[in-house]
Structure 1
Amino acid sequence: MDPEVTVLLQCPGGGLPQEQIQAELSPAHDRRPLPCGEEAITAIWETRLKAQPWLFDAPKFRLHSATLAPIGSRGPQLLLRLGLTSYRDFLGTNWSSSAAWLRQQGATDWGDTQAYLADPLGVGAALATADDFLVFLRRSWQVAEAPGLVDVPGGHPEPQLDLWLSARERTPDSGSLTLLHCATSGPQGQQALCPGGSPQHEDLAEELVVRELFSSVLQEICDEVNLPLLTLSQPLLLGIARNETSAGRASAEFYVQCSLTSEQVRKHYLSGGPEAH
């Protein structure tokens, strides 16, 4: 097991579909105010902007906790407890030089190492081609998190945007594409989740939040790998992992099957897209 990754939760079977997931949004699931004040976050953000002026703040969902239903129970099989946070707070907590201290202090004050951390929920895809390859991307050098490293297609669900807003203004996450052979082998409609402004917990319908979670991973694949939506299967949630290099930030990991071969995927990628390089 990679020491930089902790498996927070593994879904049963081959993964859970969208209809088996339930979201619970509450201010109680937001991060706690920093014990030393919020000024440190502002200072870190301003320093980052001077070095990387293309960065921009945006609301994100915060994963507080996740609970699987008892085996054999009916109804939703997974409950996600979500709050709201921001990219700015992520850089000012999870990626700050005091992140280890914040985790220790969170455990002392609240019995939760993540209590003071932004912990924006990411999404990632194990994207399999028709000829049993997995798709990997090399991240751009212009992102704040893990620049230049190899990663799966992914990003973050967006609280304030349409589920299929084609003009998402994001920093590109991908720089080059890699296909690895593996041994094993309906699109969502557009609907505003919380268009514009700063979303509030009460503005976000929990059913639409789950839909955005699943839609966002497909949108990231379309944007980063330049694949047509109709070539992608409905995602299955495999589980949730914590990235220990960013102080335990959680990411929902999905399985998505593509109907194209690895060579067809490569050609689509090289022809370019909103975030394909």
Structure 2
Amino acid sequence: MKKVGSACPVDPEASVLLHCGPWKGLREEQVQAKLSNRYNRRTVAEVEQHIEEVWAERISQEPWLFNGAKFRLFSASLAPSPSCSSLGGAGYTSHGGCNVGRGGGDAAPMEGCKTGEWRDEGCRGSGVVEGDGEVPMWQVVVGQKLQCPWRDARFPTHTEGRATAVPPLYEGGGFASVKCSCRQRGVGATPLTLQLGLTCYKDFLGTNWSRRVGALMAHGEAEFGDTQALLAQPLGVGGVLRTSDGLIVLLRRSQRVAEAPGLLDIPGGHPEPKAVCPGVSEDCIRVEQLAERAVVRELFSSISAEIRDEVNIPLSSLSEPVLLGIALNHTSAGRPSAEFYISCSLSSKEVKEFYWRGGPEAHESTDIVFLSQEEVMQLDESASLWTELCPSAKGAVMLYRLVLPDKDQEGMCSVTNANST
């Protein structure tokens, strides 16, 4: 197993939940979704009252807001590459991959493990042994050397304020990572399974974005054994967009947006349950109405639509999105976002011209910035530009550096070829 070391920045605002490095990114047919009401947020009377109070206050200030349905990420299960018999010792022998998630099951949380301690406990609880990925959030079930980065001994599963615990690190720093020595991409396999429920924007404001999020997480841990049980955890999407002349696109967020105003971001947003249920009002959408393949299709197509609307370039210029992995935004209690790589047939000059013509969401940004691949690869917490990135952009850069870069550029070529098919 390759030690990642300093290959990726370590930042308290963002971290990597999982990455698709062994496959050099995943295409739509390599991802599946499982939907159930069991994956929805847990409800408690006092928490629901708090959510309503937060919402009432917010719409009194911004009456144009509406409460849209969102997908809630409950957990994710990542299998080993089907072309390899082993991933450098990673995996639970009865499971063969890793699960990250929360809720059901009774696997032990990764509290109190010492630096350099080996953990390969597998998952205790029949649900996990069956492979449905229901294990406590942030636990990665792999046999690898881990360092626990807990910073608050009073509540070991999150740091102060809104920040939550970052995924395991190797001793000496760097993200815990599984690297596959085999160069083949699996054919006909579905390496990633996402367990999804439903949530909404109102619930996000009253939980993940609430000033009381620390107390909500403690309540969830005490009552349900799960720090995220009471949180909305809406799944977002983001796109690392690469122009035909090899530049990465960033947008300067408007000062008028509620989150990360003035900072540099990647194009992004949320997949919409409404798109899978045309003709059904937002507040009437139910899990039973959602076809699982259609949900995966919406997950992948939504990032292309966000790029079209925010950068104002035609969909016909964009390649098939390739999933890099899932990043966490710790300024909103570990809110997850699926990050994609998309190549564009337009040059940076052409993209800039389209952008300045203005698109449907032009009000969300004030400028467009281009970085070379070399500049992105050199971005770390010591770079001045790093402080200008919002958490979602930091997470995307982390994933881009983990999944695509390769000494001989073979990884980059394989993704580009996949996009052109």
The TM tier, using the shorter chain, reads 0.7 to 0.9
Q: Which has the larger radius of gyration?
A: 2
1:13-71 CA distances to partner (integer Å, 9 max, x unpaired)? 32000000000010000011136341110110111112222321100000000011233
Aligned partner of 1:150 in structure 2 is 264
Q: RMSD in angstroms over aligned alpha carbons?
A: 1.5
Question: d(CA) in 2 for partners of 1:121 and 1:147?
Answer: 21
Report 1:36-47 matches (<5 A).
36-47=46-57
1:131 matches 2:217: no
Name which of 18, 29, 33 aligns with 1:23.
33
Amino acid at match of 1:5: A
Aligned partner of 2:305 in structure 1 is 219
Decide which moves more: 8-17 or 35-44.
35-44
Aligned partner of 1:200 in structure 2 is 286
- Alpha-carbon deviation of 1:138? 2.1
Do 2:244 and 2:345's aligned partners in 1 also have CA atoms closer than 8 Å? yes
Change in Cα spacing, 1:56 to 1:42, as seen in structure 2 (3 Å) is same
Aligned partner of 2:343 in structure 1 is 257
Amino acid at match of 1:215: S
> SS at 2:308's partner residue?
helix
Change in Cα spacing, 1:222 to 1:259, as seen in structure 2 (3 Å) is same
> SS at 2:260's partner residue?
coil
Q: TM-score, normalised by structure 2?
A: 0.57
Question: d(CA) in 2 for partners of 1:67 and 1:23?
Answer: 10
Decide which moves more: 64-73 or 112-121.
64-73
Report 1:74-153 matches (<5 A).
75-153=189-267
Q: What is the identity percentage for the equivalent residue pairs of Structure 1 and Structure 2?
A: 56
Aligned partner of 1:2 in structure 2 is 11
Question: d(CA) in 1 for partners of 2:355 and 2:50?
Answer: 40
1:229 matches 2:239: no
More strand by share: 1
- Alpha-carbon deviation of 1:237? 0.4
- Alpha-carbon deviation of 1:75? 2.5
Question: d(CA) in 2 for partners of 1:110 and 1:6?
Answer: 25
Aligned partner of 2:66 in structure 1 is 56
Q: How many residues align structurally?
A: 247
- Alpha-carbon deviation of 1:80? 0.2
1:13 matches 2:16: no
Amino acid at match of 1:228: P
Amino acid at match of 1:34: V
Amino acid at match of 1:10: H
- Alpha-carbon deviation of 1:210? 0.1
Question: d(CA) in 2 for partners of 1:85 and 1:143?
Answer: 22
More helix by share: 2
**Where do 5+ consecutive residues of structure 2 fail to align?**
1-9, 84-187, 364-421
Report 1:173-192 matches (<5 A).
none
Do 1:159 and 1:193's aligned partners in 2 also have CA atoms closer than 8 Å? yes
Q: Which runs of 4+ in 1 moved over 4 A?
A: none
